[in-house]
């Protein structure tokens, strides 16, 4: 029998069968009545998931592409911008804003640290910035930042705030309007349970009014905004992906955002409890907010890449290794989107087997039991 494959990374993530079925429908024309109701419903549902009254712009791009739309629209050469980084994606945004000629003030934390709003406040007092660029869920480390507090610090100083919510939107609370987030970027392939290929970007009125002089065409916000307002996409959208995203958002909203957030909290608790029961050290914080990815250090003397390889070769399970400076040092268990506790127990049981084969002293079975127990405890909201 062909080996069963399990996708347990923090993106791409597993796609529910209803979404796959919608994507298997015959291709329709994007300017025809066959597509417009799907497009309209998808855009409406996106606003609900983003918790915004504003348009969410849809790009045929990965999350990085949608982020580049923000940089291309907001950054003018020579302008001061503050980028907050504590991992791989924050570093990417520092490099990208610099590539567009921004005068970048880089508030740089060690990978795995949690950015602090008071540091942002102090930095902006020293050097005002047009916008502050922050990462909500730093997928490379498992840290989920307090974006509400970071945004408040930016607002106090009169700066715009742009948020990378690529791996957080739909998994942990992200209140676009209530927290005054000017730009919120996400992607289809994470907690939104759709294959890769759609980049999303919510834009506030203040951000729309503050666009700069960098050259842009495909990623020009105004062009996409005007076209979406008429349900007439500026460029050919990936119609099958939009149909899939529409169904996925419907599933998420049917579950209810609060219920989905609660499920993710408990998935995170289960993953952490299991890892700790195995005697492993967590790299990501042991806190409910870190509900996207659980980053774990392998036992002394074992390279985490061997764990990733062992899981793939022995069981057809794909998890993520460490990125950049964390390569070989951590492995990451993703649990956003279409996940339940039995996905967590499957990962943990397999990690246990692979670590035992690699010579670690692991007590068999304890991780699964601990995970199931941790999952059962409902959050006291
Ligand atoms: N930001 C974060 C936090 C991510 O997890 C990812 C995913 O890889 C990205 C940005 C980049 O998204 P993409 O790979 O879709 O370009």
Residue 369 CA, ligand 1 centroid: distance in Å:
32
Per-residue pLDDT band at 3 (split at 50, 70, 90): confident
* Atom number, ligand 1, closest to the C-alpha of residue 136: 3
Whether 184 and 202 have beta carbons less than 8 Å apart is answered as yes
Residues 6+ apart with CB under 8 A from 259: none
Domain(s) labelled CATH 3.90.1150.10 in the chain stretch across 257-377
Q: What is the mean pLDDT of residues 40-61?
A: 98
Check pLDDT > 60 for residue 381. no
Residues 218-273: tens digit of each pLDDT? 999 999 999 999 999 999 999 999 999 999 999 999 999 999 999 999 999 999 99
Q: What is the mean pLDDT of the chain?
A: 97
> Cα of 60 to ligand 1 centre, how many Å?
14
**Distance between first and last Cα of the chain:** 45
Place of tokens 């502050």: 132
pLDDT, tens only, 16-39: 999 999 999 999 999 999 999 999
The CATH class given to the 17-255 domain equals alpha beta
For 257-377, which CATH class?
A: alpha beta
Query: Residues spanned by CATH 3.40.640.10 within the chain?
Result: 17-255
pLDDT at 379: 55
Q: Which atom of ligand 1 is nearest to the CA of 65?
A: 16
% residues pLDDT > 90 (the chain)? 97
What mean pLDDT is predicted for residues 67-93? 98
Tens digit of each residue's pLDDT (9 = 90 or more) over 307-343:
999 999 999 999 999 999 999 999 999 999 999 999 9
> Which residue lies with its CA nearest to atom 2 of ligand 1?
166
pLDDT of 153 reads: 98
Antiparallel, parallel or unpaired: β 198-203 and 56-60:
antiparallel
182: CA distance to ligand 1 center in Å? 19
Q: How far is the CA of 363 from the centre of ligand 1 (A)?
A: 35
Split at pLDDT 50, 70, 90, the class of 2 is confident
Report pLDDT digits (tens) over 172-187. 999 999 999 999 999 9
CA distance 365 to 43: 45
Strand order in the sheet with 281-282: 281-282, 293-297, 331-334, 320-321
From the alpha carbon of 67, which atom of ligand 1 is closest?
A: 10
Probe target for ligand 1 pocket from 63, 85, 144, 284, with the most ligand atoms within 8 Å of CB: 63
- CA dihedral (71, 72, 73, 74) in degrees, to 10, reads 40
Q: For the residues 346-352, what does the mean pLDDT come to?
A: 98
Atom of ligand 1 nearest to the CA of 64: 16
Q: How confident is the model at residue 377 (pLDDT cuts 50, 70, 90)?
A: confident
Q: Residues near 101 by Cβ (< 8 Å), separated by ≥ 6?
A: 75, 76, 77, 78, 214
Which residues does ligand 1 sit against, CB inside 6 Å? 11, 62-64, 89, 135, 137, 139, 164, 166-167, 187
Name the pLDDT band for 380 (thresholds 50, 70, 90). Answer: very low
**39 CA to middle of ligand 1, Å?**
24
Tens-digit pLDDT profile for residues 119-133 = 999 999 999 999 999
Does a cis peptide bond (omega within 30 degrees of 0) precede residue 155? Answer: no
Distance CA 191, CA 171 (A): 6
Phi-psi region of 19 (alpha: psi -120 to 50; beta: other; left: phi over 0): alpha
* pLDDT surpassing 50 at residue 93: yes
């Amino acid at each position: 029998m062909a080996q069963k494959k399990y996708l347990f990374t923090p993106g791409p993530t597993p796609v529910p069968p209803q979404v796959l079925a919608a994507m298997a429908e015959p291709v329709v024309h994007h300017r025809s009545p066959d597509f417009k109701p799907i497009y309209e419903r998808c855009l409406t549902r996106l606003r609900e998931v983003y918790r915004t009254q504003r348009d969410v712009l849809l790009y045929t791009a990965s999350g990085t592409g949608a982020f580049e739309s923000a940089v291309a629209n907001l950054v003018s050469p020579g302008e001061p911008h503050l980028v907050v980084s504590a991992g791989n994606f924050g570093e990417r945004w520092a490099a990208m804003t610099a590539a567009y000629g921004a005068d970048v003030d880089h508030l740089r934390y060690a990978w795995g640290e949690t950015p602090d709003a008071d540091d942002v406040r102090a930095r902006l007092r020293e050097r005002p910035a047009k916008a502050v660029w922050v990462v909500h869920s730093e997928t490379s480390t498992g840290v989920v930042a307090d974006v509400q507090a970071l945004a408040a610090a930016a607002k106090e100083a009169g700066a715009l705030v742009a948020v990378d919510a690529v791996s957080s939107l739909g998994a942990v609370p992200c209140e676009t309007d209530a927290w005054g987030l000017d730009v919120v970027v996400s992607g289809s392939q994470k907690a939104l349970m759709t294959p890769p290929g759609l980049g999303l970007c919510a834009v506030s009125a203040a951000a729309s009014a503050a666009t700069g002089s960098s050259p842009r065409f495909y990623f020009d916000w105004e062009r996409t905004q005007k076209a979406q307002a008429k349900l007439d996409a500026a460029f050919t959208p990936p119609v099958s992906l939009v149909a899939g995203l529409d169904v996925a958002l419907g599933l998420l909203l049917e579950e209810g955002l609060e219920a989905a957030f609660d499920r993710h909290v408990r998935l995170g608790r289960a993953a952490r409890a299991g890892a700790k029961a195995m005697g492993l050290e967590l790299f990501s914080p042991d806190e409910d907010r870190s509900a996207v990815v659980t980053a774990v250090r392998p036992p002394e003397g074992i390279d985490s890449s061997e764990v990733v390889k062992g899981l793939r070769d022995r069981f057809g399970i794909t998890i993520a290794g460490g990125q950049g400076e964390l390569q070989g040092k951590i492995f990451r268990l993703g649990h956003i989107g279409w996940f339940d506790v039995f996905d967590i127990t499957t990962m943990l049981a397999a990690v246990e087997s692979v670590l035992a084969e690699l010579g670690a002293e692991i007590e068999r079975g304890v991780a699964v039991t601990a995970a199931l127990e941790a999952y059962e405890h409902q959050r006291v909201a």
